[in-house]
């Protein structure tokens, strides 16, 4: 669970520098976990980002990842800055041991540039 993903040509792009707010990434489990109030947002490990075309009736992408939240996934918004709002870039499915609605209530999101306040 601790090794970085490997991208083959045409398979996607390896992305680093995403920060997770409102939850923490457990490298051992390969999933999001609750963030204790005394902890600050943390950088998540390198991820393999794949852009996929979604058909209207599709329930999973071509790689088998669910497109809708399930009991073990969360469709996490990714923002350019902590200001969120109009800085939404995309959303990605993250593994979790808790249902997606718990993360929605907690306001969990990933941020590309946590130090930019613009």
Evaluate if residue 108 carries a pLDDT over 80. yes
Q: Which segments within 11-69 are labelled E, that is strand?
A: 13-15, 19-21, 23-26, 31-34, 42-43, 47-49
77-84-43 Cα angle (round to 5): 60
Q: Is the pLDDT of residue 101 over 60?
A: yes
Provide the token pair at 48: 């393999």
d(CA 29, CA 105): 22
Phi-psi region of 17 (alpha: psi -120 to 50; beta: other; left: phi over 0): left
Please state whether the predicted TM-score (pTM) of the whole model is above 0.85: no
């Amino acid at each position: 669970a601790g090794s970085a993903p490997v991208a083959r040509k045409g398979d996607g792009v390896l992305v680093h520098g995403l920060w997770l707010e409102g939850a923490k990434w457990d490298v051992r489990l390969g999933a999001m976990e609750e963030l204790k109030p005394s902890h600050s947002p943390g950088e998540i490990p390198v991820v393999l980002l794949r852009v996929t075309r979604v058909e209207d009736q599709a329930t999973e992408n071509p790689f088998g990842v669910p497109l809708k939240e399930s009991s073990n996934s969360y469709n996490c918004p990714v923002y350019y800055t902590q200001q969120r709002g109009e800085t939404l870039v995309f959303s990605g499915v993250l593994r979790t041991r808790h249902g997606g609605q718990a993360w929605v209530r907690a306001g969990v999101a990933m941020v590309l540039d946590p130090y930019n306040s613009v």
